[in-house]
Amino acid sequence: MVKNNVGRDIPQEHADQYGVYDDLFTNVKPYKEASRDLKPVKPTDTKLLGSIREAIEKTGLKDGMTISFHHHFREGDFVINMVMEEIAKMGIKNLSIAPSSIANVHEPLIEHIKNGVITNITSSGLRDKLGAAISDGIMENPVVIRSHGGRARAIAAGDIHIDVAFLGAPSSDAYGNANGTVGKAVCGSLGYAMIDAKYADQVVIITDTLVSYPNSPISIPQTDVDYVVEVDAIGDPSGIAKGATRFTTNPKELLIAEYANKVITQSPYYKNGFSVQTGTGGAALAVARFLRDSMIKDDVKAAFALGGITNQMVELLEDGLVEKLIDVQDFDALSGQSLGRNENHIEVDANFYASPLSKGSAINQLDICILSALEVDTDYNVNVMTGSDGVIRGASGGHSDTSAASKMSLVISPLVRGRIPTVVDSVNTVITPGASVDVVVTEIGVAINPARQDLIEHFTTLDIPQYTIEELKEKAYAIVGNPEPIQYGDKVVALIEYRDGTLIDVVRNV
Amino acid sequence: MVKNNVGRDIPQEHADQYGVYDDLFTNVKPYKEASRDLKPVKPTDTKLLGSIREAIEKTGLKDGMTISFHHHFREGDFVINMVMEEIAKMGIKNLSIAPSSIANVHEPLIEHIKNGVITNITSSGLRDKLGAAISDGIMENPVVIRSHGGRARAIAAGDIHIDVAFLGAPSSDAYGNANGTVGKAVCGSLGYAMIDAKYADQVVIITDTLVSYPNSPISIPQTDVDYVVEVDAIGDPSGIAKGATRFTTNPKELLIAEYANKVITQSPYYKNGFSVQTGTGGAALAVARFLRDSMIKDDVKAAFALGGITNQMVELLEDGLVEKLIDVQDFDALSGQSLGRNENHIEVDANFYASPLSKGSAINQLDICILSALEVDTDYNVNVMTGSDGVIRGASGGHSDTSAASKMSLVISPLVRGRIPTVVDSVNTVITPGASVDVVVTEIGVAINPARQDLIEHFTTLDIPQYTIEELKEKAYAIVGNPEPIQYGDKVVALIEYRDGTLIDVVRNV
């Protein structure tokens, strides 16, 4: 075992392979970017194939290769299941899959794991039954959990080498120019897919809306695409929009949001030209609403809002409260449509959004980010991955990326959830190291990370109760009692990569 | 000496290094794409530097490295001379320069060659005094002439490895998001610069219009940029627009244009959804005008027009005669503005435009291209590089790219120019092999390449005089007499790469 810098024990073999987490930026070093094996396409070649099966055959996909998908269709995605079903029928085994994330709808992956079709997974998240099965120890090899920026990093650095990317596209021409703003199943930005398209040896575009050449706007260019397949349907629009959450009416969440907004608007960063990423949870959307009111009242305008975009952000843009949206992912139909329509709504890839190994990602320019938590501990470490029962059910997302890069990161969370404390001695799983978390906001008040003395000094006049993080924990424990320790097994079922590629934690079976 | 497949003698050492031209597509093979050495940019890093000198210092530029520039500012460019002057002052020597092309305004390069600052050049073209100096033998190492698609190929394949790209940008933010449609010196598309930005180890954006973050549209993204420098002026707008030519009033050129339009409109490709690249010479623009009238009369609409874009193409777009413009370069201010304004005017990079090693370039989708010629010979080989005196004064451009990839290539040219025949026994310098040239159009009629029996059969009813290419040559010689052979020296002053990277010809000193 090797103990890393957030005190987690990493088994030697994994520590040797990945290295262990040290600090936020010590592993951000010059490197040689990965490159792809490329088959040039001649004037007489055609890319349009008759079926997914034909595409799989043409790519020469075989046992042991790595394939990838994107998660822009979320719970409405048909692509992963369609492609995997065909691959399984063809008898191909021992594949590594590297989707940008996995949704509940991908439960059929469990069978493919059991049948040996899939033997390795890397993903931002694992939900529901697949998460439970992984936590139960269904796989021989641990899943590798990567943040959105960390996945872009891993691809650019060659840690993930994608042999074939199967990318669903709401529209494409027969030469592979694809976007997410036109078609039957509009998802908006294709930011996560764009990275796969750039680095994968071979790329198959799967679309249900084949348009004449040249399709535009061009999110994924023909120069990144080998084959195009038209299918009846790539996704269910109602499932695609499931990423969005409505405004909360929960009084506790509203209070958290109000406090978070006070932290933002009383911070040194709140001024004309500031920038913010709000996230998509109920409380986060409520923060956006309070912030909107404050910006109008104070006549403050933001230069940009970033990240997963919701209709609330689009309204800020359209009302002139935010100058530009930088969009790696859209969470509802309206934001997807805005991307296709509004020139100040800018589509970017995951590398541009959040990679620590890029020549500067957008989050490096970010003033304020609002993040959720399943747990936060007295070292300010945050868990957004495993539940209070130790079972994997979350997603790393952009959490550790934005918290590290932004000037002020707010973790918003109720002090307790039901009978479970949120502020704890030690989180079950560290996704985001406390070194990158600045302020924890609960419904009873805030705790400011002592590492941010500048903020502590600035916020002496903040009109919200302030506590130490230990005091918040004590209050949580006072309400619901000390949490019972989880009884983990010995098997490592998931490796948690920090965004720089080192291991910040592992998850064991339960 | 090795004789290549167009009968040109290539000195052994160069043949060994590059290979020699065989056929249009035999050397288009799978390969490993080049990659860059990348220095990640952390949140606290800034990219904005105080001067070009500081940028040169920060990049660590040293003797023997390769630097690049783009030619989107044409005769209005200040960037190459500014940067080279600073480099020369700093005492750096033995550089290879790899601009996408070179204009008359870059005459100061002659001094830098004489002083040993520049010892290698690759470019699409060489003009005026620099071309004459090169032909005179000023350089020890031959210049390497590459087509626009061939340059993109060479960069993607690693034949050109750019250590530092110095890219002028009409606008940029301090993090390097740059475009050519906003600013004091608008040039429109940054298509040639985008390739350098993607593959160069280090990229310096030089702008005279620094805007707030995030600048958009994003032609060159921050993720491809290391440093940003603001200067007073990057270019002279009147010189930038010098690439454009007005409609000709020359009756001979008008007749050629009328004939070319007849070939196009009576060809099998002229129908709804066709595509065309017209070029920018006087006769070429006249073709566009005739074609426009025909399209209106015949109610035929094009799917796209391609290539260097002029205001004539923009009018076709705005009048609904062409659905989309695919734009790697703009030749006048109006087209540059259109790119920033019209969503159907699409910016693409040189790889997307024309690289033979891409996953399919736009020219592969092109029906018809119209090309100029200094000379065309009885094997249909075309010279657009050396004058009748053997001196380098032209540019390879997209000539050999579009002629190879399009379904029908027209070379338009007067039969003679002054006392010089245009159709000859053997061109001075082969840029484009006859195998890719389909129809030669002169003011007395056309010659169709016998390799295109399908076109010969199709055009039996064409209402233009038809000749063999030998007959055209005889008629030219009958007017102006047989051309005197040029007295070349023994020194190879330029290597002419075919787009696939092999040598199709060399140029010797005169």
The span from the CA of A119 to the CA of A371, in Å, is 32
Say which of B175, B304, B357 has its CB closest to residue A40.
Answer: B357
Whether the Cβ atoms of residue B211 and residue B182 lie closer than 8 Å to each other: yes
Confidence of residue B136 (pLDDT cuts 50, 70, 90): very high
Written as one string, the DSSP assignment of A211-263 is: EPSSPSS-SB-GGG-SEEEE-S-SB-HHHHGGG--PPP--HHHHHHHHHHHHH
CA distance A114 to chain B (A): 35
Evaluate if residue A224 carries a pLDDT over 70. Answer: yes
Residues in chain A: 510
Q: Within B19-136, where are the H helices?
A: 52-59, 79-89, 109-114, 128-135
Q: What residues does B386 pair with on adjacent strands?
A: B392
Question: Which contiguous run of DSSP H or E holds residue B379?
Answer: none
Summarised one tens digit per residue, pLDDT across range A227-266 is 999 999 999 988 887 766 677 889 999 999 999 999 999 9
Whether the Cβ atoms of residue B435 and residue B451 lie closer than 8 Å to each other: yes
In this chain, the answer to whether the domains covering B46-237 and B251-485 adopt an identical fold is: yes
Would the CB atoms of A348 and B218 count as touching at under 8 Å? yes
Summarised one tens digit per residue, pLDDT across range A276-299 is 999 877 888 899 999 999 999 999
Say which of A28, A223, A365 has its CB closest to residue B40.
Answer: A28
Whether the Cβ atoms of residue A442 and residue A414 lie closer than 8 Å to each other: yes
Summarised one tens digit per residue, pLDDT across range A407-460 is 999 999 999 999 999 999 999 999 999 999 999 999 999 999 999 999 999 999
Question: Which contiguous run of DSSP H or E holds residue A311?
Answer: helix A311-318
Q: What pLDDT was estimated at residue A52?
A: 98
Would the CB atoms of A43 and B363 count as touching at under 8 Å? yes
Evaluate if residue A53 carries a pLDDT over 80. Answer: yes
Evaluate if residue B243 carries a pLDDT over 70. Answer: no
Contacts of A217 in chain B (CB under 8 A): 343, 346
Using CA atoms, how far residue B118 sits from B65, B124, B147, B313, B337, in Å, is 10, 17, 21, 38, 35
Using CA atoms, how far residue B282 sits from A355, B251, B257, B289, B310, in Å, is 48, 11, 9, 11, 12
Q: CB neighbours of B249 closer than 8 A, spacing ≥ 6?
A: none
Nearest CA to B274 among B121, B408, B467, B392? B408
Q: What pLDDT was estimated at residue A214?
A: 98
Question: Which contiguous run of DSSP H or E holds residue A73?
Answer: none
State both tokens at A392: 């994997």
Q: What is the DSSP letter of B404?
A: H
The span from the CA of B40 to the CA of B34, in Å, is 18
Distance from first CA to last CA of chain B, Å, rounded? Answer: 20
The span from the CA of A355 to the CA of B148, in Å, is 32
Contacts of B41 in chain A (CB under 8 A): 358-360, 364
Say which of B32, B36, B304 has its CB closest to residue A37.
Answer: B32
Mean pLDDT calculated for residue range B362-366: 98
Residue A315: exposure state from Cβ atoms within 10 A (0-12, 13-18, ≥19): middle
Place of tokens 């040689």: A32
State both tokens at B366: 């092109």
> Which chain A residue lies closest to B305 (C-alpha atoms)?
A214
Confidence of residue B249 (pLDDT cuts 50, 70, 90): confident
The span from the CA of B448 to the CA of B410, in Å, is 9
> Which chain B residue lies closest to A213 (C-alpha atoms)?
B303
Written as one string, the DSSP assignment of B88-106 is: HHTT--SEEE--S---GGG
Computed on alpha carbons and rounded to an integer, the radius of gyration of chain A in Å comes to 22
Instruction: Specify the fold of A46-237.
Output: Glutaconate Coenzyme A-transferase (3.40.1080)
Say which of A203, A352, A357 has its CB closest to residue B222.
Answer: A352
Nearest CA to A26 among A2, A3, A5? A5
Using CA atoms, how far residue B60 sits from B9, B75, B175, in Å, is 40, 29, 20
Residue A287: other Cβ atoms inside 10 A: 29
Would the CB atoms of B352 and A175 count as touching at under 8 Å? no
Q: What residues does A324 pair with on adjacent strands?
A: A304
Evaluate if residue B456 carries a pLDDT over 90. Answer: yes
CA distance A129 to chain B (A): 37
Would the CB atoms of B30 and A38 count as touching at under 8 Å? yes
Summarised one tens digit per residue, pLDDT across range B25-77 is 999 999 999 999 999 999 999 999 999 999 999 999 999 999 999 999 999 99
Mean pLDDT calculated for residue range B263-291: 93
Mean pLDDT calculated for residue range A36-45: 98
Contacts of B324 in chain A (CB under 8 A): 214, 216
Would the CB atoms of B222 and A363 count as touching at under 8 Å? no
CA distance B373 to chain A (A): 23
Q: Give the three-state DSSP class for A305.
A: strand
Task: Find out whether the peptide bond into A214 is cis, omega within 30 degrees of 0.
Answer: yes
Nearest CA to A327 among A255, A277, A254, A291? A277
The span from the CA of A295 to the CA of A307, in Å, is 20
State both tokens at A80: 């992963």
Sign of the dihedral through C-alpha A286, A292, A298, A304: positive
**Report field, pTM of the whole predicted structure over 0.95:** yes
CA distance A443 to chain B (A): 31
Domain boundaries in chain B?
46-237, 251-485
What's the angle, vertex CA B340, arms to CA B339 and CA B344, rounded to 5? 50
Q: What is the DSSP letter of B275?
A: E
Q: Give the three-state DSSP class for A380.
A: coil
Say whether the ipTM exceeds 0.85.
yes
Contacts of B33 in chain A (CB under 8 A): 35-38
Say which of B223, B351, B360 has its CB closest to residue A360.
Answer: B223
Q: CB neighbours of A262 closer than 8 A, spacing ≥ 6?
A: A462, A463, A464
Instruction: Specify the fold of A251-485.
Output: Glutaconate Coenzyme A-transferase (3.40.1080)
Between chain A and chain B, how many beta carbons pairs sit less than 8 Å apart? 175
Half-sphere exposure of A386 (CA within 13 A, CB side): 26
State both tokens at A425: 């001695």
The span from the CA of A395 to the CA of A399, in Å, is 9
